[in-house]
Amino acid sequence: MSFSSLTVSPSPRTHLFVLNSSRFIGPSRRFYQHRSKSQMSRRGFALRGTVAAGISAVDSSVATKSVQGVERLPFKPEGYNFWTWKGHKIHYVEQGEGPPVVLIHGFGASAFHWRYNIPALAERYKVYALDLLGFGWSEKAIVEYDFMVWKEQVVDFLKEVVKEQAILVGNSLGGFTALASAAELPEQVVGIVLLNSAGRFGDTNAESNRSEETVIQRFIKPVKEIFQRFVIGLLFWQAKQPARIVSVLKSVYINPSNVDDYLVESITSPASDPNAGEVYYRLMTQLNANLQKYTLDEVLSKLSCPILLIWGDLDPWTGPDKAIRIKEFYANSLLVNLQAGHCPHDEVPELVNKALLDWLSNLNLKASYQAV
């Protein structure tokens, strides 16, 4: 799979749902292997439309506990730092000193999905973790969501806040956003790290197979939208139920021990935001269409900087084949395979931190980074 979750809020709430390059995040490999295609078609949409990861308003004493000996970012219900972008309130975390490393969460998560990575990276680097528009502590703006909205946000964040050459690190949707942003700012982005990135390779026959919209199709559009709103509204209500959240998270995280109260609470609290339902509807109905417009091969062909692929090979939707294809397509890349699911940085943070720090050290950033 290739996308991860939905969320947003000017308040300390995170709304998490999951998208994939062609489908939403789903059950574990074992679960998937024991489901027939017909069973998956009936239940897959509901499963994919729920949740992947993030954080929300929980007690700070809970938020600072470590897992597997890895330090966790202290939780601040009010958030950390805010930046105004095109009139919208954008949240971000900033820690450490040194060459900048910018962390971009997946679909439905937030900056706090990097809770186990920020402290380790901040010992050597200046770390930024950004909440994309519509997610985390950032505003739940009622806009037409498109991949390029987040690309523009990251590009402007690099120009206005970071102001130095930087490394971009992205999980799921954040991975594709990192690639698109680097293609826009090749002089400022000197390296990219992808963790189970979103995006698909282009289909050369897609254009010829796409038929023109008929009069009948235009006529039934309003009816289709009413039906979509009803179904997606039902899914939105279902996704808020704690029992459902726990079930889905345990199917997505290969290591269920990291499905803690901190994570579950981060998913149950954001739905009270007055704009949450509308943002969820817009994301669910618009993003799959955008997958046809923006492809991995198109973006990768514009890049020349080194890329590190950190891949959870047990991801039920974005398995190792995708990482191998990216590596074959893009010669200046290194692949690290891990026994984890779609969110390796939160499942096996100690392994991800080591892979990141080793790769960053080999880039010799301290000798080369500069203001731009």
pLDDT in tens, 221-242: 555 666 566 676 666 656 556 7
| Mean pLDDT within 80-84 | 97
Could you give the CA distance from residue 165 to residue 190 in angstroms, rounded to a whole number? 6
What are the tokens at 206? 């897609």
| Mean pLDDT within 195-212 | 66
User: Given this model, what pLDDT does residue 197 score?
Assistant: 96
| Mean pLDDT within 185-204 | 92
Assign 345 a pLDDT band (cuts: 50, 70, 90): very high
Q: Is the pLDDT of residue 214 over 70?
A: no
Looking at per-residue confidence, does 120 or 77 come out higher? 120
Assign 98 a pLDDT band (cuts: 50, 70, 90): very high
User: Given this model, what pLDDT does residue 308 score?
Assistant: 98
User: How confident is the model over 137-154, as pLDDT tens digits?
Assistant: 899 999 988 889 999 999
Looking at per-residue confidence, does 276 or 9 come out higher? 276
| Mean pLDDT within 314-336 | 95
**Identity of the amino acid at 171:** N
CB 128 within 8 A of CB 92: yes
Give the Cα-Cα-Cα angle 142, 146, 149 (nearest 5 degrees): 80
User: Given this model, what pLDDT does residue 282 score?
Assistant: 82
What are the tokens at 255? 């290591």
Half-sphere exposure of 192 (CA within 13 A, CB side): 32
Poorest-pLDDT segment among 123-127, 252-256, 323-327: 252-256
Give the Cα-Cα-Cα angle 247, 251, 252 (nearest 5 degrees): 120
Q: Is the pLDDT of residue 4 over 60?
A: no
Looking at per-residue confidence, does 70 or 371 come out higher? 70
| Mean pLDDT within 71-97 | 93
